[in-house]
Amino acid sequence: MRVRQLLLGPMENFTYLIIDEKEGVGAIIDPGWEEERLIDAIKGEGIRPLFILLTHSHFDHAQLAPSLSERFGIPIYLHASETRWFGNTPKPTLKLEGGERLVLGETEITVLHTPGHSPGSVCYLSNGVLFSGDTLFVDAIGRTDLEGGDAQMMYVSLSKLKELPENTIVYPGHNYGAEPASTIGEQKRRNIYLSPMTPGEFMRLVC
Closest C-alpha to 142, from 168, 123, 164: 123
pLDDT at 30 over 90: yes
Instruction: Check if the beta carbon of residue 140 is closer than 8 Å to that of residue 184.
Output: no
Q: How confident is the model at residue 207 (pLDDT cuts 50, 70, 90)?
A: confident
Mean pLDDT, range 139-156, rounded to an integer: 96
Mean pLDDT throughout 110-129?
Answer: 98
| Residue among 53, 54, 59, 14 nearest 182 (CA) | 14
We report the CATH number of the domain holding residue 46 as 3.60.15.10
**What is the tally of structural domains in the chain?**
1
Report the pLDDT averaged over residues 99-106.
97
Residue 92 has pLDDT above 90, yes or no: no
**pLDDT(26) > 70:** yes
Q: pLDDT tens, 34-59?
A: 999 999 999 999 999 999 999 999 99
Say yes or no to pLDDT of 88 above 60.
no
Q: Which domain holds residue 26?
A: 2-206
Output the pLDDT for position 94: 86
The alpha-helical segments, DSSP class H, found in the chain are 35-45, 59-62, 65-72, 151-162, 184-190, 199-206
Give the bridge partners for 7, in sequence order: 14
CA quadruple 117, 167, 112, 127: dihedral sign: positive
124 pLDDT above the threshold of 70 = yes
Q: Please say if the pLDDT value at position 191 is more than 80.
A: yes
Measure the CA–CA gap between 7 and 15, rounded to whole angstroms.
Answer: 7
Q: pLDDT tens digits for 156-180? A: 999 999 999 999 999 999 999 999 9
The residues, ordered by sequence, that sit 6+ positions from 38 with a Cβ below 8 Å of its Cβ are 6, 8, 15, 28, 31, 64, 68
